[in-house]
Amino acid sequence: MPAARDVSTVAAGLDPMGWIRISGGTGPAGEWHPAQYIPDLWWSAAPLAQGGMPVTGLTLIGAAQVAALLGGRLPTSAEWEWMASGGGHRRFPWGDHEPAPGTANLRGPGPGRPTPVTAHPAGRTPEGLWDVGGNVWEWTTAPWRCDRIALLRGGSYHSLVQYASCTHANDVPGHLSSPGIGVRPVRTTPPGPVSVRAVGGVA
């Protein structure tokens, strides 16, 4: 297992990022969570990146620290599923159809390594978020679980297609760091004087 990256070095070299507002609602129970209310959240428009490439090699704690430095936090698994599925209406982040070439970086059609976070425009969510399915897994938390184990969402460049579905999750220890795990922060408050796209509500 590779050594985890230094949080301060990661935070200092991040590419400029945008935020997209996703309105909340009552999320149904799923395999990994009970039914619960999902608040309005501002999501990073793409996984955190440096030089266009996704930031990887962060443990759960390291990912949470970077998110906090940006004024955000890690999403819960239920929040991630709400965002990816459009409130439970999509099988995959981009829609209900199986990925076509150019939709997502997954095992088989992909190059077998991470790609730039904006390399698959056909795979954007209808709300405009990049790389939700494939390329790198995304850290999420599961505060309702007794074991407090971390859950990875979205699949990676090494994942089969079904791992990119909105309902799939992979339970892993929080100390894991990998070139296939990235991070997408969320904010519970507006991000301030930056470009924000309102989705399902008023920014």
- Entry pTM: 0.90
Residue 53 CB partners (closer than 8 Å, separation 6+)? 114, 115, 116, 117
Q: What's the pLDDT score for residue 176? A: 93
Instruction: Residue 61: count other Cβ atoms within 10 Å of its Cβ.
Output: 15
**What tens digit of pLDDT does each residue of 172-194 get?**
999 999 999 999 999 999 987 64
- Give the pLDDT score at 149: 79
- Given a cut of 90, whether residue 12 has pLDDT beyond it is no
